[in-house]
Structures are given as C-alpha cells and as structure tokens.
Structure 1
Amino acid sequence: MTRPVDLLIIGAGPAGMAAALAAAPSGISIVVLDDNPLPGGQIWRDGPNAQLPTVATEMRAQLQRYSNIHLHSGTKVVAIAGPKRLLLEDAERGWVLGYEKLILCTGARELLLPFPGWTLPGVTGAGGLQALIKSGVPVSGERIVIAGSGPLLLASAATAKKNGAEVVRIAEQAGRRAVSGFALGLWRWPNKAFQAVTLASGAYRLSAHVIEALGSDRLEAVRMQTGSRVEEIACDRLACGFSLVPNTELGSALGCEVRDRAIVVDEWQTTGLTDHYAAGECTGFGGSELALVEGKIAGLVAVGRQEEARAHWPERQRWQRFADRLNQAFTLDPALKTLATADTLVCRCEDVPYAELADHASWNSAKLNTRCGMGACQGRICATAAHTLFGWEPPRLRPPFSPARIATLACLDEPAA
C-alpha cells in the first residue's frame, strides 16, 4: 500500500489555496483536489472571458513553486473508502487515496428558490450567469434582469455589463433600512466600500423580487414586485440567486457536525473529528477575505504551528464581523417562500411540482413518494430549496456522491494509492 498523503485539502478556492500555501513550508506531502479545471473556486473561476484578481494569479503561481503540493484538478470525491481513505475520480481514472489529515474547503453554492417559469431556457442562477459568461457564453446586446439577494447580484451585473449586456434591472429583495445600515457600516472595511461604489448601478432596486418568469419556448419577460407595485420587464435572460448555501455534504458524510447549514469548527478551524479541519464558506458564508484567513489558520494548525495560527485570529474576527453584518442585512423575506404555485416544479430533474410535496412532513417522505431528489443533482438543488420552503432537514449524502464509472467503484477493493 502506498503511504497516505500527509495533508489532503478538498477544494482549491481561496480557502484551499491559502491552507496549502500555509502548510507547504513544513515540507509535508500535500494533495489538493478540486472539480474545476484550474484552482480558484467559484469566486475566481477561470475562462475565456474571466479577469482574475492579482491575488488569485499570485496564489496560483505560488502553488506551482512548491514541489510538495500536488494539485488534482477536475477531480471529485465519489465515496468514503474507509477510515481516512477516499475514493476519487478524474477524467482518466479512479483511485483510493489515504491521508493523515484533511482540510475541507468545499465552498458554497447558490440558493435557488422555485417560482413560476424558473425552468424556462434563459433563467439561471446569478452566480451561474457569471460562470456562463466567464466560460465564453456571449451576452452582448442581451437584456438581462438580475434578482435575489446579496452582493453577488451586483458582481454578476458588472460581469454582464463588461461583456456587452444591457442590465435592465437588479432586484434586491432586502429593504432600504437593512441595506442602508449595512452600507453605512462599510467604512470599517474600506476595500468593500470601494467595491460597493464601483459596482453601483442605476438599475438597482430595493424591496424587489421576481414573481414570475414569462415566455413560451424561452424567457421573454419577468413579472416583478417592487414595493407595492407589480411590473413586467422584457428581457432575454434572468439570473436569480437568493444568497449562498455552504457545501457541507461531504463533511456530514465523514461525520462532522453540521449546524445551521454549516460545518461546525472551533477557533483552530478544527471539526469534531480528530485530524479533520474545515475552512471557507463550508463553515458559513463570509466572502473571500474570510475564507483566505480561515484557510491560512487551518493550514498552519494542520502542521502544528498553532502560535502562528493564533496571530491571524484578529484578522479572522474582523472579517467575521463583516460576514455577520452581511448575513443580517440580506436576510431573506418570508414572502419568497410563497412564490411557488401548486404546479411550479421544485425538483427539476424528476418534474415534481410544489403541490406533490406540500403535504409531506419530511424530505424522506417526499422522496419516497414523489422521486424528488432522485435525479442527476441528487437533491442538491431541490433539497436545499425544500429546507427553505418547508423547514425539512436536508438529506445525508450517500455514496456514490456523484455519478461515477463502474471501473472507479471497483477500486474500492484495491489498496489506497
């Protein structure tokens, strides 16, 4: 059996890269896994139309300088193969990898809530729109409406405008009092205040949300609620994102405690499992700055450099205060739970409408009776929406965690490599 890697990091976003770079000077063997083609995560996603910040390109370059850091891009975790052993798969092979210590940096995904017409071609998530544009999808000349909650709306709008789109409306569901209070406190974080100024748009509206996406074969218009007024806006694309949800499924499968949709960690970024740490947005949504410092702390602690890690606590506390204010200001309006009508699809993979779910008391009951969550996404979209709509506890991920080749599953009988 090949010797297990000293430190395995799952996720190569800001937290994962920071953790690897913090641990690398110790000389231990480090493996970083990510399902994207290049490191950077969703926030620093690459592509033909992507413009990466300097910090992202510098961190990528630093990763390449360390011979003890081995990056496996386009790689996913398929199953747990035993204590401190994971079954992995990339485009070419499957294999079992053993590890001594593990840092989860699995990031977050968009919260998508169902509303009439949300399955029409032309409707995506707000972050999904950004990803499409960065990957080369042309939007020049298109009329785009962006709706939901949080700063991601402004970032998506900026990406769309840079690539020639006309952003006709940015609809923020939070009210004026909450957003104004948040904005007035940004002087404590000057770079965030600068970002807010540069991303400001005349198309921005508060106390506004989507009621319905309109169209026959594809999106043609959006019906919006803005304050007490209802209006229809013609558009070619609609991007909706109702904040982010931490990716906790792998952590939960390993046995980490999950509370309030986030992996629970202590001041050392340690989970309840010995030799298992977590950092970044899988421990709670807070932005790239918080993810970077949490990743750095986790990497240092994993190699026994606790005193150096402690020195970063004040910085983490500073960005945690920002995250707390952000999450409080953009708390979702309960009215968003009532957007779906009886025939609105909640599970898009299996075509399960709201009416078929509403009478069930739990996710398991709904899944057993309706096939909800049994499609390609394995409930990652609909189960998360159901948690918001009905208060159901999300399901625990079961192997295989994603579609895998039979040859990969056969590796469970082989020794770790």
Structure 2
Amino acid sequence: MTSERLLHIVGSGPAGLAAAHAALDAGASVCLIDDNHAPGGQIWRGGPGRWTDARATRIWTALHDHPRFTHRTGTQVIGCADANTLLVETADGGAAIPFERLVLCTGARELSLPFPGWTLPGVTGAGGLQALIKGGMPVRDRTVVVAGTGPLLLATAATALRAGARVAAIVEHQPWSRLTGFGLALLARHRGKFVQAASLFAALRAVPYVTGARIVAATDDDILRGVTITTGGKEVTYSCDFLGAGFGLVPNTDLARALGCATADGAILVDATQETSREDIWAAGECTGIGGVDKAVAEGRLAALAALALHPSARDIPGLRASRAFAALLARAFAPGDALKTMCRPDTIVCRCEDVTAAQLLPHRDWREAKLATRVGMGPCQGKTCGPGCAFLFGWTPPDSRLPIMPASARALSRIE
C-alpha cells in the first residue's frame, strides 16, 4: 500500500465499514483496525451471515478479499506513541502503526447509572445484555427485564424474545407524554424510523411497557432474583434472571483525546466534513454524537471522502441531514432526567472496580479530589464506567484520557519500540 492513498480507520462498526467502502470506491487503500474478530461493531454484531441489515452485507461483500483492503482484527488500540503513531496490542504482543490520515470510528459505551444491586451477577447494561445474547448466551425460558431509557430498551427486549426468553417488562423512565411527542415527530419527519419503531412495538405487544418509572433496587441472594421499580407512586417487583439496565450511550473519545483532538459536550468535535481539530484526523459515528446506524453510515462515508480530499455526492447530503436531525431528536427525547439520581443511595457502590460508595464521594468537589481520597476510577476500567456516572450524579468533569487507554499487558508494552 502506498502512503499517498492509504487511509487508516479505527473501528469496524457501521461508520468504519462505510468509511472503508467509500475509500476503496475512491481508489484508496484501507487499513481497518478493530479489537473484535468479526466486523460490525455493536449495531451489526455477529459478523457476516447473521446480519439483518442489507447494507452491512453489501458493504462487507465489497470489502472482503479486496486487494487494497487490510482488516486487522483482534487488534486493540491502547494509545499512541506520538502524534501519528498508534500503539496496538494483538495476540502476538505489541506493535506500532504509523498513519498519515486517520478516521476514528470508535463508537460509544453505555451510560451506567448506579442503583442498589447494579453490581449483582445477572445485571448488565441493556446493550451489554443484547450483545451477550447475540454472542450466544443462552436465555431460552429465562426471564428478562429491561429498564432505563431510550430505544435500545425495545431493541434489547426484541432480541431476548427472539432468543426464547420471557420478557417480564420494559421499564421506560420517560413519561408517556414525551414518548408520544417523540413518536409524532418520527411520523412527521422520519417516516422510516417510525415504521421501524411501530414494527418493534408490534413484536413486543405482549410485553408490559411501563413508562414514567425508575429502578428502586435489584433484589438478590448473591445473584439476581428480581427488580423493584417505582411508577405512579407505587412500587412493583418483577422476578427475573437477567436485568438489562440502560440509560443511553456515551461517545467513546479516549483515543481521540489521547491524540489531541478536541471534544465538546462529551463527543469528538468535528466540522462539517467530519474533520477533528487535527487536520489529519477525521471522526464519524457515535463517537461524534449518538444518532444510530444511519448517522454512522452517512458520516463514515463523508469522513473517508473528506480525508481523501473528495466531496460527497448530491445523493449523500439528504441522508446526512436527516440522520443528524434524528440524532438531535433522540438527545432531546431521551436525556436522562434528574429523577434518576435518586436511584443512587448513600451506600450504593458508584465505582465498582474499587468499591467506592456514593457516601464516600459526596464530600469531594471534583473528580481529582475524589480520586486522591477514595481511589475512584483507579481500577481496570480507568473511570470509563464510573466517570460518566459521576458526571451525571455530581456534575464532575470526566477524567482525562491517559495511556494506555485500555488495560494492556506488560508483554505487549515491552515489545513496542
């Protein structure tokens, strides 16, 4: 591959695959780097042969075995050696990958908000539960509850049903009035999304859908036995084997910040062409703001073309605008409300890596002070879980990115020159 037309892409979800496809179509060579062993990311999880979105299959068919396409699977980016060199870890150890043009498609993580019992075996994020089921975790004849806020609850419940689980309830934090407004906005401006939502509701018509509710506690005797919620001033308990608690998504900006790219409102800051504050790095998809698969695909194409100094075609523009408008609608409709803060009690663990409770964190003014006194954020996740949680609960600025951005073995680090 010649460096003049070589584009490096991190992340092989919808944004990364769309970027790779656009770059190949433009005559460039592509090196796609991903820590998973199959392409697709979270949205198109499962790899070729299990996808239901025709776009995924079409894009992968064009990429697979293409002479100008290199797919580095099982390759985790753990940081950067300098401004234009990625540090990665593979099964063989560590390596350095230099780049001249880079597209970041690093996706998002779930926002985990603490409540009593959220660290029990059987309790995961809603997206985490969906990923486990798609990955083959058996749930047939087991009972599932999904709770929190956002469309991901419906998607997770539908995935569980298809896998043979019993879904006892979908517990949505937003009130019915806001959900109705969201549905009407979809009908008026995003007809395709409205049809998708209606199809999901039809598939879930037998499942109780509780609105204006929040979790009180997950109940246990060492493993999850049920979940108690409050709605309309009453408490209701559902017995369950699995609880998927999801409160939205948080853009994954760790690598971008390590590379010196600016962020704003928790997402990678990009201009109209997806270029970051660095002139040789672009970003696309959920890492630039949560918006779903259509936004990811549209931004991935735009980022790759811009990185190659090309312009999008006229047919790309309407889809890009529509996907960004949908992202803004999602953000307004499903922003976690302050009432969710009441789920966290003084004795509730907030930092699960270091067993730090809310009561231990409350006396402190900011993340740095709390970290010095309590070890919050000093465990294996490096604040990736508790950092956004503390930002929501206490208004703290999340921790800075530090190297390595992911846990790495000494063997890998020692082999990087």
The answer (yes or no) to whether the contact 1:87–1:411 under 8 Å persists in 2 is: no
Determine the C-alpha separation between the residues in 2 that align with 1:47 and 1:295.
Answer: 19
The answer as to 2:382 corresponding to 1:397 is no
Find the partner of 2:338 among 321, 334, 338: 334
Q: How does 1:256-271 map to 2 (within 5 A)?
A: 256-271=261-276
Match of 2:218 among 213, 217, 220: 213
| Residues 391 and 116 (structure 1), Cα distance of their counterparts in 2 relative to 1, 3 Å cut | same
Partner amino acid, structure 2, of 1:278: A
1:241-290 Cα deviation digits (max 9, x unpaired): 00100001111111111111111111110111011101000000000001
Residue 194 (structure 1) aligns with = 195
2:37 corresponds to = 37
Kept after mapping to 2: 8 A contact 1:115/1:211 = yes
Question: How much does 1:47 deviate?
Answer: 6.8
Distance in structure 2 (CA, Å) of the matches to 1:48 and 1:134: 13
Equivalent position amino acid for 1:291 in 2: A
Count of aligned positions: 411
CA shift for structure 1 position 356: 0.7
Partner of residue 72, structure 1: 72
Alignment equivalent of 1:313, drawn from 306, 314, 317: 317
Contact 2:5 2:308 in 1 (8 A): no
CA shift digits 1:360-411 (9 cap, x unpaired): 1111111111111111111110111111111111111111112223332234
| Partner Cα distance (1:37, 1:342) in 2 | 41
Distance in 1, Cα, partners of 2:3 & 2:197: 49
Per-residue deviation, residues 298-336 of structure 1 (Å, max 9, x unmatched): 111111112x35652332111111111121111212010
**Matched residues in 1 for 2:277 and 2:143: separation?**
48
From 379, 382, 396, the counterpart of 2:383:
379
CA separation in 1, counterparts of 2:49 and 2:229? 30
Alignment partner of 1:363 is 2:370 = no
TM-aligned CA deviation for residue 229 of structure 1: 1.7
Displacement of 1:178 in angstroms is 1.0
Matches of 1:111 and 1:208 in 2, distance apart?
A: 18
Q: Distance in 2 between matches of 1:227 and 1:350?
A: 35
Q: Offset at 1:4?
A: 9.0
**Which secondary structure state, in structure 1, belongs to the residue aligned with residue 64 of structure 2?**
helix
Aligned twin of 2:357? 353
Unaligned runs of 5+ in 1: none
CA distance in structure 1 between the aligned counterparts of 2:74 and 2:45, rounded to whole angstroms = 13
CA distance in 2, matches of 1:281, 1:30: 21
CA drift of 1:123 comes to 0.7
What code does the residue aligned with 2:214 have? H
Moved more, 25-34 or 233-242: 25-34
User: CA deviation digits over 1:184-227, x for unaligned, max 9?
Assistant: 12223232112111211341111011111011111111110112
CA distance in 2, matches of 1:123, 1:48: 29
Deviations along 1:331-354, one digit per CA (max 9) or x if unpaired, are 212010121111111111111111
Any gaps of 5 or more consecutive residues in structure 2?
none
| 1:277 match: secondary structure | strand
Contact 1:48-1:135 at 8 Å conserved across structures: no
Alpha-carbon RMSD: 1.8
Say whether the 8 Å CA contact 1:171–1:206 is kept in structure 2: yes
Are residue 172 (structure 1) and residue 176 (structure 2) matched?
no
Alpha-carbon separation, structure 1, partners of 2:336 and 2:228: 19
Match of 2:309 in 1: 304
Q: Which residue of 2 aligns with 1:156?
A: 156
1: CA distance, partners of 2:405 / 2:11: 15
Distance 1:49 1:61 in 2: 11
Aligned mates of 1:51, 1:159 — CA distance in 2: 13
Instruction: Tell whether the 8 Å contact from 1:85 to 1:98 is kept in structure 2 after alignment.
Output: yes
Change in CA separation of 1:257 and 1:112 when aligned onto 2, cut-off 3 Å: same
Match of 1:244 among 249, 260, 270: 249
Whether contact under 8 Å (1:344, 1:353) holds in the other structure is: yes
CA distance in 1, matches of 2:383, 2:254: 11
Give the aligned partner of residue 133 of structure 1: 133
Which residue identity does 1:205 align to in structure 2?
V
Is this contact kept in 2: 1:78–1:402, CA < 8 A?
A: yes
The alignment's TM-score, normalised by the length of structure 2, stands at: 0.95
Deviation at 1:50, TM superposition (A): 5.1
User: Does the residue aligned with 1:185 lie in a helix, a strand or coil?
Assistant: helix
- Residue 285 of structure 2 is matched in structure 1 by 280
- Quick one: distance in 1 between partners of 2:121 and 2:379? 19
Secondary structure of 2:101's counterpart equals strand
Moved over 6 A (4+): 2-5
1:27 offset after TM fit, Å?
Answer: 3.1
Which aligned pairs between 1:406-417 and structure 2 lie closer than 5 A?
Answer: 406-413=410-417
Q: Distance in 1 between matches of 2:251 and 2:283?
A: 11
**AA at the equivalent of 1:190:** R
Aligned-pair identity in percent equals 47
Instruction: Compare 198-207 and 286-295 and name the one that shifted more.
Output: 198-207
